[in-house]
Chains A and B, each alone.
Chain A
Amino acid sequence: MELQKFKNILEKYYEGTSLIEEEKQLKSFLDQYSGDDADLNEAKIFFGIINNDSTESVEIDFNNITNTKSVKKIKKLYAVISGIAASLIIAFSLMFLLNTNKTPIVYAYIDGQPITNKQEALKHSQQALLSLQSNLNKGTNKLNHVNKINKPVELLTVKN
Chain B
Amino acid sequence: MAQQSQLNSIFDKYSGQEGYTSVYITSYMFELFSKLADEEDFDNVTKGLEAIKILTANGSSSQKKAFYDEIDKALPASVYKDFMIVKDGGQTVVFKVRDEGDKITEFVMIVEDEHEPVLLFLQGDIDLAQVAKMSKSMDIKGFEHLEKVEEK
Which residues of A pack against B, CB within 8 Å?
A: 105-113, 118-119, 121-122, 124-133, 135-140, 142
Contacts and interface: CB of A to CB of B under 8 A. Distances in A.
Nearest to B36: A122
A128 B111 CA distance: 13
Interface residues of B, number: 37
Interface string B10-41: 00000110001111111011001100000000
Contact of B135 (A107, A111, A140): A140
Contacts of A128: 23, 25, 52, 54, 120
B22 A111 contact: yes
Given A108-B23, A125-B25, A125-B29, 14 more contacts: A106-B28, A107-B26, A108-B25, A109-B23, A111-B16, A111-B22, A118-B149, A126-B140, A128-B54, A129-B138, A131-B118, A135-B93, A135-B95, A138-B93
Q: Is the interface of A mostly helix, strand, loop or mixed?
A: helix
B140 to A, nearest CB: 7
B86 interface: yes
B131 interface: yes
B133 to A, nearest CB: 10
Contacts of B20: 111
A118 B23 contact: no
A122 B32 contact: yes
Interface of B: 15-16, 20-26, 28-29, 32-33, 52, 54, 84-86, 88, 93, 95, 109, 111, 118, 120, 122, 131-132, 134-136, 138, 140, 143, 146-147, 149
A136 B120 CA distance: 12
Nearest to B93: A135
Contacts of A136: 95, 109, 131-132, 134-135
Contacts of B120: 128, 131-132
Contacts of A132: 109, 120, 122, 135
A122 B28 CA distance: 11
A138 B88 contact: yes
A131 B22 CA distance: 14
A3 B120 CA distance: 131
A108 B135 CA distance: 22
Given A109-B15, A118-B149, A138-B88, A133 B28 contact: no
7 contacts: A106-B26, A107-B25, A108-B25, A108-B26, A109-B23, A112-B15, A122-B32
A127 B88 CA distance: 20
A108 B24 contact: yes
B86 A138 contact: yes
A77 B109 CA distance: 67
Contact of B95 (A108, A111, A129, A139): A139
B146 A135 contact: no
Contacts of B149: 118
Nearest to B42: A129
